[in-house]
């Protein structure tokens, strides 16, 4: 699976759990450690945890291996590293506070069928 297909699968999968305002950013060339950031939110910590679990399961079934997952226990900010795709799942008030979209404002937003 190529990188863009993996990023699109992630975007589709978070949408299946009704993630709030998912945004896919193409950060290749802006950072050296990944090609895409997926940033999405949840209305509660439980929803964030459910999105993360669903994403892990879907990617595992697709043969995509995780390099690490942090923050799933708390559910306020879950960071999921899949190498060329890094996913940030936030409880919405935490997302607003950190404003990663504002930090990566120069990164092009990738349009997907889900957006």
- Number of domains, the chain: 1
Rg value, the chain, Cα: 13
Tokens in use for 90? 């936030």
Query: For residue 112, what pLDDT is reported?
Result: 74
Query: For residue 114, what pLDDT is reported?
Result: 58
Query: In sequence order, what are the beta bridge partners of 39?
Result: 23, 88
Q: What is the spatial distance between Cα 9 and Cα 45, in angstroms, rounded to a whole number?
A: 23
Alpha helical stretches, state H, the chain: 3-16, 45-61, 92-98, 100-103
Helix, strand or coil for residue 42? strand
Q: Is 56 part of any domain?
A: yes
- Domain extent at residue 36: 3-103
Per-residue confidence in pLDDT tens, the chain, 115 aa: 899 999 999 999 999 999 999 999 999 989 999 999 999 999 999 999 999 999 999 999 999 999 999 999 999 999 999 999 999 999 999 999 999 999 999 999 998 765 5
Q: Is 110 part of any domain?
A: no
């Amino acid at each position: 699976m190529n990188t863009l297909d993996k990023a699109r699968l992630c975007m589709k999968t978070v949408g299946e759990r009704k993630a709030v305002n998912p945004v896919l950013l193409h950060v290749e060339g802006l950072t050296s450690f990944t090609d895409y950031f997926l940033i999405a939110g949840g209305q509660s910590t439980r929803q964030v945890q459910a999105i993360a679990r669903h994403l892990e399961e879907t990617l595992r079934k697709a043969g995509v291996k995780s390099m690490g997952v942090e923050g799933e226990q708390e559910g306020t900010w879950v960071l999921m590293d899949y190498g060329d795709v890094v996913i940030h799942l936030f409880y919405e008030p935490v997302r607003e506070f950190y404003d990663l979209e504002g930090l990566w404002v120069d990164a092009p937003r990738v349009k997907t069928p889900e957006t």
